[in-house]
């Protein structure tokens, strides 16, 4: 699924950021595909998550802008 999405955007997975709210399916899957995963944790249920984590779309935008 992740590779298909990247291909549809005419990108390689390493050029993609994948935002998801499920550690197992979204974060692990996108990591395995070679994408940059970002956990959106609106309810702050995963404070132990060591990877990139945002609580809302404003934080996501700031994260993307800071890495451009």
- Domain spanning 2-66: which superfamily? HAD superfamily/HAD-like (3.40.50.1000)
What is the pLDDT confidence band of residue 32, given thresholds at 50, 70 and 90?
A: very high
DSSP 1-26: -HHHHHHHTT--GGG-EEEES-IIII
Instruction: Output the pTM of the full model.
Output: 0.91
> Mean pLDDT score of the chain, rounded to an integer?
96
Q: Give the whole-angstrom CA distance, residue 48 versus residue 68.
A: 26
pLDDT in tens, 38-68: 999 999 999 999 999 999 999 999 999 998 7
Residues in the chain: 68
- The two structure tokens encoding residue 48: 């132990």
Percent of the chain with pLDDT over 90: 96
**Which phi and psi angles does 66 have, rounded to 5°?**
-75, -20
Q: Where are the domains of the chain?
A: 2-66
* Greatest alpha-carbon span in the chain: 34
């Amino acid at each position: 699924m992740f590779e298909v999405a990247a291909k549809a955007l005419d990108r390689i997975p390493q050029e993609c950021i994948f935002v998801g709210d499920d550690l197992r399916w979204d974060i692990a899957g996108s990591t395995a595909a070679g994408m940059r995963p970002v956990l959106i944790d609106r309810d702050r249920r995963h404070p132990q998550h060591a990877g990139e984590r945002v609580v809302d779309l404003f934080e996501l935008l700031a994260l993307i802008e800071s890495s451009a």
